[in-house]
Amino acid sequence: MDKHRDHIGHPHFWKRTLSRRQFIGSTAAATGAIVSSSFWLPPVFAAPFAKADPQPIPGGTLLPFQPTPFHFFFPTGGPPGAQTIASGEGDPSLINDFNGFVGVADVSQGTGTDGTGRSLLWAADVRFMKGSYVGAEGDTRTGAFAFI
């Protein structure tokens, strides 16, 4: 756990922000660089929440896009002073009133290949939550969720 503490307060805020999410980037702007045929697959599972909506955790991370926190915590790093999952201060769950299992996997920089064979960098923070939660209507439900 301690090996990640040096990321707290990392001066390159934007670099750290990007590294928390699924992004694919190249070393230069890539407008117009991608050429391939279009295709589309039907969704296998894309259920709406409807009345079973889980509620977001009340806390989170303040980013310079809005005056209130976004309701998530970075696994590591983040803006200066951010509470993180690795430190034990940030909740790994995105869902409030939750009782169950969680999983967090964070890749700060990996490599991959697009459909044209071009090598790209990527990063991702993916999590699961599986258990009981109090839905928007106030009743307790069970379910599984992914932070993707």
Partner 1 sequence: MPDNQIHDFNPGISPFPTGLFWTVPIPPGSVHIDLAGKTASLKLRSRKTDDYGNVVNALTTDEEIAEAMIDVDISWSGGTEVDFSSSTNNFSGHYVLGAATFTWSAKEPGFSFTTDPGSADFAEIGHERNGSFNI
Residues 1-40 that bind partner 1 (CB under 8 A): 1, 4, 14-15, 17-18, 21-30, 34, 36-40
Considering only residues 71-90, where is the footprint of partner 1 by CB under 8 A?
71-73, 75-76, 83, 85-86, 88-90
Phi, psi torsion values for 3, nearest 5 degrees:
-65, -20
Report CA-CA distances (Å) from 80 to 12, 72, 75, 93.
10, 15, 14, 21
Longest CA–CA span in the chain (Å) reads 50
- Compute the least distance from the CB of residue 32 to partner 1, in Å: 11
Considering only residues 117-136, where is the footprint of partner 1 by CB under 8 A?
120, 122, 124, 126, 128-132, 134
DSSP-based three-state secondary structure for 133: strand
Report CA-CA distances (Å) from 43 to 46, 54, 79, 119.
6, 22, 35, 27
Residue from 95, 135, 137, 139 in contact with partner 1 (CB under 8 A)? 95
- Compute the least distance from the CB of residue 126 to partner 1, in Å: 6
Looking at beta carbons only, is 80 or 112 nearer to partner 1?
A: 112
